[in-house]
A and B are shown apart, each in its own frame.
Chain A
């Protein structure tokens, strides 16, 4: 390989070139003075046209570059792109107000893991290089607000009427310590899906299958009923052992609604920042999972740790699993990647039904789901928080948000979207929307992460059969107290 010196020289030269170009690139970045921004203009819906627009800075005015950071998969590019699209409206507003400043946006958008994405922001903030706007899970407010990393926008919201259109309950998710720290960007719901062909095989009539959705909303079909039907299906051999009821194969926000459904409270006014762990609710959750995996054999003890692609393959075909708790964003994913050669979305409509998570009779007795909104937050290192908020306001419109929602399979966040024809035209989204009535959120607290890790540890160990529910409760409480000390209240 390295026979000759020329080759060495070549490699060295190449490396040097790379270095120089990389460094040059870096030094240029902050000083982009290019005054042309690409704007994606929304014509009716679904159709986007790229228009180049020149930002004209009045004499003596200032061109402000805002940096926005988003995590987005391939169909979620609208997350940051909507901010770019809003530049025109934002600058027009500034002109109207007689403000001499003009905005342009630079976006950094990729699909890092959540944990890494969050760490990145914290490191960047420490180094003084935080972006102006960051889009992240609302629960990160719990870490970033107390750490002083994001701006309290409560008193600034009034300047922009756009924010009045945001669905009221979503603001709950951006509140910490009685103040608002972010603007909702998207929302979703976590439905229970069911396989129509397997129910039919179990002897259900078409009518029964079609009415299941509404019976769940009315709590006529409960979580307990679901487990009973799943048990039948396993006993009659309609599905294999362990395939009666599935939940997600990894840790995630979903598991918290089990605790909520069992009547658990995680945060209340007395507790403040501290989190609560209620033993009764915890035990109930673990008993259900233990019962399902160890006694009834409807939930495979091996489910946790299954790979996502295998999970998607198994559920999306509607041939293997009877009931499964998933997410609304799964739907477009299944259509595009898992059943594409079987008819895509049509196949799903024909074979898969969905509704809220059925009510737990022994718990709250209400159907439930959980929403995990992503929110726009403004870094306290931003020199122009007012302009950042202006830009966010102009991106919070039914036109821009609907395009995004339809493309990405997320729910709308605005009241006006419910009657907006392009949104209504998206069948799946409008059918998921009613679930929001039953929705819950994660808590915004710096201790949520540890709480969730301990809680999940218990779930893992009862499902694998390593511990009984009672033992698991003891282990989890012990772990929580060791990890959080005074910051958790055990009841």
Chain B
């Protein structure tokens, strides 16, 4: 059902014309996207492409091959895929936890500095994280010097990389979570609080279950960030201890690396498969991700 043009009185014809115009415009708008994906798919199964056409050695159309996919037999690719997966899941858990805690407090509690924190989350978003890299290095180095903690969260540790990545994703997470909490009725919560439940119990047992769709939406986006993370793991570890798929692709694309577009495209498509699968099953939640955080604090 169309949302806003439905009317009994408009003649069938003009309605049909108008909505088919909408279809035409929409179809045109997605052509570049679809063409891009079509190229990706064709390229991975051919030696070389000219435009969208695969070409063989003589320049005729054809030359299909599976050679670009040979990398799937390389055990290395599976190891880096596993790493990518673990980084992405760690991001999902870390960002989900921290931002739903903070989002809850911002939505439900009144405390000094609340307003400041809220405007901060918006402003933080304006910081190009890449210019902060070198400063973050010195922070990590300082953490390294702490006994005990330094071995887990310092420079050149997996923990340190995870902390930085989670932190840089927090502003978006908090903003979205606050929006979702704002949209949830607080009747049950109030009753529970009056019955003497602690805030923490209320948050964990009453609110969190209600906010699953929001968490799922946030999860998808943080998963994506983690899945394609490159700069931070590469900068804060020696020899890319956290070697993941983007690192692998980057090596393929490096100047001295003997590869061609089609091989890179194949690895690229490989990297996209889980995302597309994930996307297919969660698109409904993804499409709702921003509906929460938009109407201000109401």
Contact = CB atoms under 8 A, between A and B. Distances in A.
A73 B254 contact: yes
Nearest to A11: B89
Contact of A73 (B56, B256, B264): B256
A18 B235 contact: no
Contacts of A131: 238
A26 B151 contact: yes
Contacts of A332: 258
Contact of A111 (B90, B151, B257): B257
Contact of B156 (A73, A124, A337): A124
Nearest to A339: B57
A108 B243 CA distance: 12
Given A2-B215, A14-B89, A111 B256 contact: yes
A308 B261 CA distance: 9
Contacts of A23: 151-152, 157-159
A343 to B, nearest CB: 9
Given A18-B86, A127-B144, A2 B212 contact: yes
B250 interface: yes
A116 B86 CA distance: 24
A337 B258 contact: yes
A158 interface: no
Nearest to A408: B256
Chain A interface residue number, banded: 35 or more
Contact of A312 (B47, B260, B285): B260
B251 interface: yes
A111 B254 contact: yes
B216 A2 contact: yes
Contacts, number: 121
A74 interface: yes
B50 to A, nearest CB: 10
Instruction: Give the interface SS of chain A, mostly helix, strand, loop or mixed.
Output: helix
A3 B216 CA distance: 9
Interface string B67-97: 0000000000000000000100110110000
B159 A3 contact: no
B219 interface: yes
B239 A111 contact: no
Interface in B37-79: 47-48, 56-57, 63
A338 B263 CA distance: 12
Interface string B258-284: 111101100000000000000001100
B234 interface: yes
B291 interface: no
A112 interface: yes
Nearest to B92: A11
B260 A18 contact: no
Nearest to A12: B93
A333 B263 CA distance: 14
Chain B interface residue number, banded: 35 or more
Nearest to A75: B258
B238 A124 contact: yes
Interface string B215-256: 110011000000000000011101111010001001100111
A112 B157 CA distance: 18
Interface in A89-119: 108-113, 116, 119
A313 B260 contact: yes
- From B47, B56, B282, name the one whose CB has the most chain A CB atoms within 10 angstroms: B47
A265 interface: no
B251 A111 contact: yes
A184 to B, nearest CB: 18
A341 B151 contact: no
B251 A333 contact: no
A11 B93 contact: yes
Given A15-B89, A123-B137, A129-B155, 10 more contacts: A2-B215, A2-B219, A12-B93, A110-B239, A112-B250, A113-B250, A113-B255, A123-B155, A127-B141, A337-B259
29 contacts: A2-B212, A2-B219, A11-B93, A15-B89, A22-B157, A23-B157, A23-B158, A73-B258, A75-B258, A76-B256, A109-B239, A110-B240, A111-B254, A111-B257, A112-B240, A112-B251, A120-B234, A123-B137, A123-B155, A127-B144, A129-B155, A252-B255, A309-B259, A309-B264, A313-B48, A332-B258, A333-B258, A337-B258, A337-B260
Task: Please give me the 5 A-B residue pairs with the lowest Cβ-Cβ distance, nearest first.
Answer: A108-B239, A22-B158, A111-B251, A333-B258, A341-B57
Interface of B: 47-48, 56-57, 63, 86, 89-90, 92-93, 137, 141, 144, 151-152, 155-159, 162, 212, 215-216, 219-220, 234-236, 238-241, 243, 247, 250-251, 254-261, 263-264, 281-282, 285
Interface of A: 1-3, 11-12, 14-15, 18-19, 22-23, 26-27, 69, 73-76, 108-113, 116, 119-120, 123-124, 126-127, 129, 131, 250, 252, 307-310, 312-313, 329, 332-333, 336-338, 341-342
